[in-house]
Amino acid sequence: VVLAAGLGYAGGCALAKGGKGSQTYPQAPVMPADAKVHKQTLTAIRRSRQLAAPPAPPTDILGYSDGPTIIRLQQGEWLEAAFTNRLHEHSTIHWHGIRLPNAMDGVPYLTQAPVMPGESFTYRFQPPDTGTFFFHPHCSTVEQLGHGLAGILIVEGDEVRPHDHDLVCVYRDWRIDKDGKYQPLMTDAGASKAGTFGDHRTINDQVQPVFKVPAGGDVRVRFLNVDMSRVVDLGIVGADAWVIATDGNPLPPQKLKSWRLGPAMRADLTLRMPHVAGTRIQLVNYYSAQPIVMAELEAEGTPLDRPAFVPAALKPASIPEPQIDGAETFQLRLSASSAPADLPPDLVLPDGSVLRYADALCLSPKTFWALNGQPWPSASHEVLPPPLVTFQRGKTYIVEIINQTPHIHPIHLHGHTFKVIGSSKGDVVPHWADTTIVAPKERVKVAFVADNPGDWMIHCHIIEHQETGMMGIYRVA
């Protein structure tokens, strides 16, 4: 091991070098000359933002500076995102939920070389599906995502009847105190249980914001849970609402009572605002003893005169339909693990500081979790284990996710959008998803056509679980 200078903040992967050695990465897709292209610059930087209430000073956060954090594309367009890393550790961009070619998936050491400080990488792909997606780094994720590094990607073109207003609501906790200072983003107690939580709960970085929307108008709420550990049972008080998409993918409108969204999960809602200007409706989280109001929508202006409200379905998804009959089942067991990483002793550097091998190699000093008995060996991707399974390209597979732990896990597959088809806890509304929540003792069945070749990540999206073992690779070949 060659130890280079420049250790970043604690837990970072500042020493990462080199990538897969002689191993080559998958081939980038070729953009046709006549492609309609949406160009975007995304520079990961440190900046500051007023999060805590004044007189607290602004908080240091990470962001994709010179671009809107919301990218809107039309279906059919290519995205050309020029990413530059101005952090002091490596990073990449993972386009969560997009069925894209493996080379664009943004997993360092697996699908591309890590983008080192000062380096750039251009992502080019054509998202096949409409919907509400997001993007985030895939290294040192507790540090980077925990400091706010994430953006929203919306692919438009799914509406049959346009809404009067389209509202993006990004939910996340910040682990900051009243003075805007960070508390530890990761704790052993959190990582080994339900995760570490922040108390500064925000929508679009504001605590309980009020959004003005047209009175009597039809509103589409795109709700994204980008938190690292918080589960949201999303509800609306003051109006009827329907779920029209899950993880960006259309489903027949479902009257909303509450809809459970683990970290990384999204739901699109449609609703009609009250007619009387000044009337407010609430976005509520029921996943707690007392329901928590996350944000409010206030009717404003002269009421729009619309015919009686019938929730309109979005255009159906164009994802290959799994052929369930005769499909092979792969069982994925989520379990606790206490396998300690076998590491040499810490190194004392000439200046007296102590270098922990675990940090230097991004190895998890502790693993708390495993998939099929195998804990991921590192907090990041420098050390790649063999795939848990190889799926034959073109075939339908059922993945049965079996939760043998006393905690909830939102399980995410890269590269494919699957259909949630069953649960041991009762009936499920079949729906497309890229992340599905599995409760303690529950078994959830998802199915998909393995049509996207490559090595893909599969992991829990409670980031502390991901970084302490609950992560693996599945191969489609």
**Contact positions toward Cu ion, by CB under 5 A?**
409, 460, 462, 465
Contact with ligand C2O (CB under 6 A) among 124, 147, 260, 412: 412
Taking the complex as a whole, the smallest distance from the CB of residue 134 to ligand C2O amounts, in Å, to 7
- Pick the closer one to Cu ion by CB: 272 or 459: 459
Nearer of residues 218 and 227 to ligand C2O, judged by Cβ: 227
Closest by CA position to 122, among listed 96, 138, 141, 103: 103
Question: Which of ligand C2O, Cu ion, none is residue 264 near (CB under 5 to 8 Å by kind)?
Answer: ligand C2O
Instruction: Provide the pairing of β-strand 210-214 with 292-300.
Output: parallel
Residues 449-468 touching ligand C2O, rule: CB under 6 A, are 457, 459, 461
Q: Which does 99 bind (CB under 5 to 8 A by kind): ligand C2O, Cu ion, none?
A: none
Q: Which is nearer to ligand C2O, 59 or 452 (CB)?
A: 452
- Binding-site partner at residue 409 among ligand C2O, Cu ion, none, CB < 5 to 8 Å by type: Cu ion
Minimum CB separation of residue 323 from ligand C2O in Å reads: 27
220 binds ligand C2O (CB under 6 A): no
Q: Please tell me whether residue 266 binds ligand C2O under the rule CB under 6 A.
A: no
Q: Which does 138 bind (CB under 5 to 8 A by kind): Cu ion, ligand C2O, none?
A: ligand C2O
Total residues interacting with ligand C2O, rule: CB under 6 A = 10
Nearest to 7, CA basis, from 366, 353, 345, 343: 353
Nearer to ligand C2O, 59 or 69 (CB): 69
Least distance between ligand C2O and beta carbon 472 (Å): 11
**Residue nearer to ligand C2O on the CB measure, 211 or 223:** 223
**Residue 264 touches ligand C2O, criterion: CB under 6 A:** yes
The verdict on 414 binding ligand C2O (CB under 6 A) reads: yes
130 vs 380, beta carbon nearer ligand C2O? 380
Give 266 or 412: the residue with its C-beta nearer to ligand C2O.
412
CB of 119 to ligand C2O, least distance (A): 21
CB nearer to ligand C2O: pick between 144 and 270: 144
> Under the criterion CB under 6 A, does residue 96 sit at the interface with ligand C2O?
yes
Q: How far is the CB of 464 from Cu ion (least distance, A)?
A: 8
Select from 138, 163, 201, 230 the one that contacts ligand C2O (CB under 6 A).
Answer: 138
265 binding ligand C2O? (CB under 6 A) = no
168 binds, among ligand C2O, Cu ion, none (CB under 5 to 8 A by kind): none
Q: Residue 419's binding partner, choosing from ligand C2O, Cu ion, none, with beta-carbon cut-off 5 to 8 A by kind?
A: none
Q: Please, what is the minimum distance in Å from the beta carbon of residue 22 to Cu ion?
A: 34
Residue type, 253: P
Nearer to ligand C2O, 94 or 230 (CB): 94
Give the 3-state DSSP-derived string for the chain, with helices as H, strands as E and coil as C. Answer: CCCCCCCCCCCCCCCCCCCCCCCCCCCCCCCCCCCCEEEEEEEEEEEEECCCCCCCCCEEEEEECCCCCEEEEECCCEEEEEEEECCCCCECCEEECCCCCHHHCCCECCCECCECCCCEEEEEECCCCCEEEEEECCCCHHHHHHCCCCEEEEEECCCCCCCCEEEEEEEEEECECCCCCECCCCCHHHHCCCCCCCCEEEECCECCCEEEEECCCEEEEEEEECCCCCCEEEEEECCCEEEEEECCEEEEEEECCCEEECCCCEEEEEEECCCCCCCEEEEEECCCCCCEEEEEEEEECCCCCCCCCCCCCCCCCCCCCCCCCCCEEEEEEEEECCCCCCCCCCEECCCCCEECHHHHHCECCCCCEEECCECCCECCCCCCCCCCEEECCCCEEEEEEEECCCCCEEEEECCCCEEEEEECCECCCCEEECEEEECCCCEEEEEEECCCCEEEEEEECCHHHHCCCCEEEEEEC
Q: List interacting residues with ligand C2O (CB under 6 A).
A: 94, 96, 136, 138, 264, 412, 414, 457, 459, 461
